[in-house]
A and B are shown apart, each in its own frame.
Chain A
């Protein structure tokens, strides 16, 4: 059963800590994306990757970092430099080459203790 798996579903972080959110897909998609959703807002792009070992910043990349060492995996690290990390984080993937809709995981809710 193909899909996108995000873990954990809920995550708590202390001030000054880095945390890493996991995103794994078995859809054989080349492209992967990280979005952030705040209450009452649409989704905003943090980072995206079109191919392994390559990624680009989105609109709100400050305070975040990513890696893409495997096609299936695109982890997001929320660093202590991110001043307002409390949000709902969504990972997505899609095929490349022409228009294809992005498909989303079920998200990780990050809260600051």
Chain B
């Protein structure tokens, strides 16, 4: 049963514009949410995380928003750059857990 869902398999954005990647979850016990970026044939790279007690966390061009009532989070990348082209995975974990629950990923393409 997929507890973390990324319903958009792909997204294409022009360079300089905002990229918005979405993620939904079903388990209300999740306490932390993470975004990872992955290039082909490489491991995921941690980007940014947010605690369930917050609704926003920002790190440079990356901002994650959390809407607990809707069980929804999003990653905003502003401005988007061609080097941002990769697969982005949303993941979640409860405070007492060890395993990250991953979505299936969204492939972002930033075009010049």
Interface of A is mostly: strand
Q: Which of A9, A42, A45 has the most CB of B within 10 A?
A: A42
Residue contact A48 to B41, C-beta cutoff 8 Å = no
> Across the two chains, which residue of chain A brings its CB closest to B98?
A48
Residue contact A45 to B43, C-beta cutoff 8 Å = no
Residue contact B42 to A99, C-beta cutoff 8 Å = no
Q: Which of A11-19, A62-70, A75-83, A105-113 contacts B (4 or more CB under 8 A)?
A: A105-113
Chain B contacts for A1, CB-based, 8 A: none
Residue contact B95 to A43, C-beta cutoff 8 Å = no
Write the B68-107 contact mask toward A (1 if CB under 8 angstroms, else 0). 0000000000000000000001010101001111111100
Minimum C-beta distance from B42 to chain A (A): 5
Residue contact A42 to B43, C-beta cutoff 8 Å = no
On A, residues with C-beta under 8 Å from B are 4, 6, 9, 31, 33, 35, 40-45, 48, 50, 56, 58-59, 90, 92, 99, 101-107, 109
On B, residues with C-beta under 8 Å from A are 2, 4, 9, 31-32, 34, 36, 41-46, 49, 51, 89, 91, 93, 95, 98-105
